[in-house]
Structure 1
Amino acid sequence: MIDAMSRGGSVEDVAIVGAGIVGLAHAWSAARRGHRVTVFERGAIASGASVRNFGMVWPIGQPPGEARAIALRSRDAWLEVASEAGVWVNRCGSIHLAHRDDEWAVLEDFAATAPELGYDCKLLTREEIARHTHAANPDGLIGGLFSLTELGVDPRSVIRTLPGWLSGRFGVRFHFGVTITDVEPGKVRGSEGRCWDAHRVVVCGGADFETLFPTLLRESGLRRCKLQMLKTVRQPAGWSLGPHLASGLTLRHYANFAAVPSIAALRNRIAEETPELDRWGIHVMASQNDAGEIIIGDSHEYDSAVEPFDKAEIDDLILRELRRVIRLPDWSIAERWHGVYAKHDAQPLFEADPLPGVHVRTGTGGAGMTMSFGLAERSWERWT
């Protein structure tokens, strides 16, 4: 355990606003350094984007350099936290499946430079894919890209389990059902007028751009993004998906593939053949939780298009595209939902320090499970 005194620092009273994964990661990083931490969450439990995702820890999707290093650091933290807190984690890895020639071209080009960029991945033949997963549709399958680094977690369980563990292990205090309405240096104030002193405040408000520092967030370049997702029933007889699976559509979504020359042909073909997928920002992936259910998605709608009403067309397109690339024993849908997260077009995280000792951390752009712990560690190293 790291503690502030052993590092020559001083113990601080730290207030974290928001008990989603970004807030919990910052609370963990502070508490393990010996700080006294209090977390405020306006809901009875965090119920935003942190519980509405695949549960994928996805370093393969981050671009080379600092962002990938942060993702890998998060991966290490997940393994440490899961071991201590008793949280389920699956070292499953991932496979990007190629069923079209242009998808395979992107994977070949990426794999050629991946080692020098620090990616631990390799190309698989269709026969090799079959040894990793029974879910890949063999019809038209050319090959795939396997990465060892991806993990699976259950986001709903994580968000409900970590507060109790942080409380018991580090003495972190949680105030649920408390909305922080004002922050100033050395102090936070709740909606009922109560104040708490804090040497340092970290605001992790997710897609809430209005409650705290609305002018800053309005001018930040942050956008709201809505995604639609689905979950199947438990698959029968212990059937296992194996690695996380992603289709060729995903290659146009994640930043790690953006510099691959052959990506342009793939994007053009998708835009011409299936413009409805670009219209709704659909790329399809699948993961499996510890209950044996398959999480599938997703879509991307931005800004004024973010509405509380979900579109059956989007769900149908997600299922259509996934059925082309994977096979499941049981496609029965048990749940449908949407999430809204904050995303910055140019940065993996929005970081601002609007007041002395006050820090805003949001905008992980759908990569909260992947990036939060590494970003929190980086933050505390800067502050300590």
Structure 2
Amino acid sequence: MTIVGGGVLGTAHAWEAVERGHAVVQLEREVEARGATVRNFGLVWVSGRADHELDAALRARELWEKIGERVPGVGFRPAGSLTLLRSTREVAVAEQMARRPDAAQRGFRLLEPAEVRAINPALRGTFIAGLHCSRDAAVESRLALPAIRALLESTGRYTFLAGTEARSAGSGLVRDDRGARHESDLVLLCPGAAHGGLIRELAGELPVRRVRLQMMQTEPLGEPLTTAIADGDSFRYYPGYAGSALNALRDNEPQAPVADTNHMQLLCVQRLHGGLTIGDTHEYTEPFGFDVHEPPYEYLAGLVEELLGRPLPPVRQRWAGVYSQCIDPGELVYRRAIGHGLWVITGPGGRGMTLAPAIAERTADLIGI
């Protein structure tokens, strides 16, 4: 098998193929993946998934845990999450979620502030309740892929070609920009948010769009943040929270202007080095700017400080990222055969890190490898 694209989707497909006994050559045009794969929270996010996404999210979490057992460098940890609520209308959404028939499957519990702080003592700030999701987890997005590749290479059936761009691809053959030919029974194109060039030539205009976000990373917090945290604006973003209570929230309680303008929610997770990854914004209309804007960062920093009840450590770095999102909301990913033994797989949206192992498993089952 030849896989074009070294991001989390391409690497998850390489893992699945090697696990099933196949030999894999994987090409990545950068020296190391630099797209949405490393510009995310590393969250394996079950909470808030729509009904048609839930089974895949739970399966992906199970697969990430198994990968983490074999590849400690992935940094898998079943930390769970707390969505911290600051209004009675947000609490009403959480109450509705806690009464769902699948609430236990999702790991939902609505907690009083004292119960929240018992789970995550770093949360000493202002909130009136918290929705706990025990099924959420985290991995280290900037460390996971090199760690996975190291194990794959130890099998003797995997080769990673860094800094190598595919120039042509067809049934059973990929030619790269170094003049090499890669012959195989199957070619998977996992281009991430790069929808032009070779992908457009082979597949035409894909039914996907690109989404831009802004995030930041702090210096170490100095104490454990034992769960990921979110705010009530995440209810507005994730489809699994849809219902009458969410409708009432949207109709009667507008977001803060900067959050509304930038399509924001708060997500925050602690990295293994102790710093906090904080975001994010969403921009849907291209062309995207090449710079980042300060007001969303100021808003997010203030919100995290309000929830923690303490000042944030200094911000170490800020960045923007772009991911690919399938336009059809009923599809987990855009996956199509565009020739004999030639497939394109892209567009998981903001679910790429969460769902990649399950998407790869489904691809392998579909293709019959």
TM-score, length-scaled by structure 1: 0.90
Measure the CA separation in 1 of the matches of 2:203 and 2:288. Answer: 17
Sort the Cα spacing of 1:338 and 1:293 in 2 relative to 1 into closer, same or farther, 3 A: same
Measure the CA separation in 2 of the matches of 1:91 and 1:219. Answer: 39
Which ranges of structure 2 fall in alignment gaps of 5 or more residues? none
Partner SS, residue 37 of structure 2: helix
Sort the Cα spacing of 1:86 and 1:221 in 2 relative to 1 into closer, same or farther, 3 A: same
Superposition map of 1:68-147 within 5 A: 68-87=54-73, 88-115=75-102, 118-139=105-126, 141-147=127-133
User: Are residue 55 (structure 1) and residue 49 (structure 2) matched?
Assistant: no
Assess if the C-alpha contact under 8 Å between 2:81 and 2:133 holds in 1: yes
Q: What residue number does 2:151 align with?
A: 165
Assess if the C-alpha contact under 8 Å between 2:16 and 2:360 holds in 1: yes
Match of 2:189 among 195, 200, 203: 203
Q: Could you tell me how far 1:61 is from its partner in structure 2?
A: 2.8
Q: What residue number does 2:307 align with?
A: 325
Assess if the C-alpha contact under 8 Å between 2:97 and 2:108 holds in 1: no
TM-score, length-scaled by structure 2: 0.94
Measure the CA separation in 1 of the matches of 2:109 and 2:236. Answer: 19
Letter in 2 for 1:40: L
Partner SS, residue 214 of structure 2: strand
Q: What residue number does 2:348 align with?
A: 364
Letter in 2 for 1:219: E
User: Are residue 304 (structure 1) and residue 291 (structure 2) matched?
Assistant: no
Q: How far does the alpha carbon of each residue in 1:56-104 deviate from its partner, in whole angstroms, 9 at most, with x for none?
A: 1111132124x21111111111111111122221110111111111110
Superposition map of 1:1-384 within 5 A: 14-65=1-52, 67-87=53-73, 88-115=75-102, 118-139=105-126, 141-169=127-155, 171-214=157-200, 219-236=205-222, 239-258=223-242, 260-271=243-254, 274-328=256-310, 330-345=312-327, 346=329, 347-384=331-368
Measure the CA separation in 2 of the matches of 1:330 and 1:314. Answer: 15
Measure the CA separation in 2 of the matches of 1:101 and 1:379. Answer: 43
Assess if the C-alpha contact under 8 Å between 2:48 and 2:235 holds in 1: no
Letter in 2 for 1:231: Q
Sort the Cα spacing of 1:216 and 1:118 in 2 relative to 1 into closer, same or farther, 3 A: farther
Measure the CA separation in 1 of the matches of 2:155 and 2:345. Answer: 24
Q: Could you tell me how far 1:36 is from its partner in structure 2?
A: 0.9
Sort the Cα spacing of 1:116 and 1:142 in 2 relative to 1 into closer, same or farther, 3 A: closer
Assess if the C-alpha contact under 8 Å between 2:203 and 2:338 holds in 1: no
Runs (4+) of structure 1 exceeding 4 A deviation are 215-218
How many residues are treated as equivalent by the alignment?
Answer: 365
Q: Could you tell me how far 1:328 is from its partner in structure 2?
A: 4.6
Measure the CA separation in 2 of the matches of 1:171 and 1:306. Answer: 40
Measure the CA separation in 2 of the matches of 1:355 and 1:160. Answer: 30
Measure the CA separation in 2 of the matches of 1:245 and 1:288. Answer: 9
Q: Percent identity?
A: 29
Letter in 2 for 1:94: S
Letter in 2 for 1:264: N
Sort the Cα spacing of 1:269 and 1:182 in 2 relative to 1 into closer, same or farther, 3 A: farther
Q: How far does the alpha carbon of each residue in 1:100-130 deviate from its partner, in whole angstroms, 9 at most, with x for none?
A: 1111010001111143683222111111001
Assess if the C-alpha contact under 8 Å between 2:97 and 2:103 holds in 1: no
Which ranges of structure 1 fall in alignment gaps of 5 or more residues? 1-13
Sort the Cα spacing of 1:270 and 1:251 in 2 relative to 1 into closer, same or farther, 3 A: same
More divergent stretch after superposition (374-383 vs 344-353): 344-353
Measure the CA separation in 2 of the matches of 1:314 and 1:109. Answer: 29
Letter in 1 for 2:132: F
Letter in 2 for 1:182: S
Measure the CA separation in 2 of the matches of 1:69 and 1:355. Answer: 29
Letter in 1 for 2:207: G
Assess if the C-alpha contact under 8 Å between 1:282 and 1:318 holds in 2: no
Partner SS, residue 359 of structure 1: strand
Assess if the C-alpha contact under 8 Å between 2:164 and 2:176 holds in 1: yes
| CA-based RMSD | 1.8
Measure the CA separation in 2 of the matches of 1:100 and 1:215. Answer: 50
Q: Could you tell me how far 1:281 is from its partner in structure 2?
A: 1.1
Measure the CA separation in 2 of the matches of 1:340 and 1:144. Answer: 30
Measure the CA separation in 2 of the matches of 1:55 and 1:376. Answer: 18
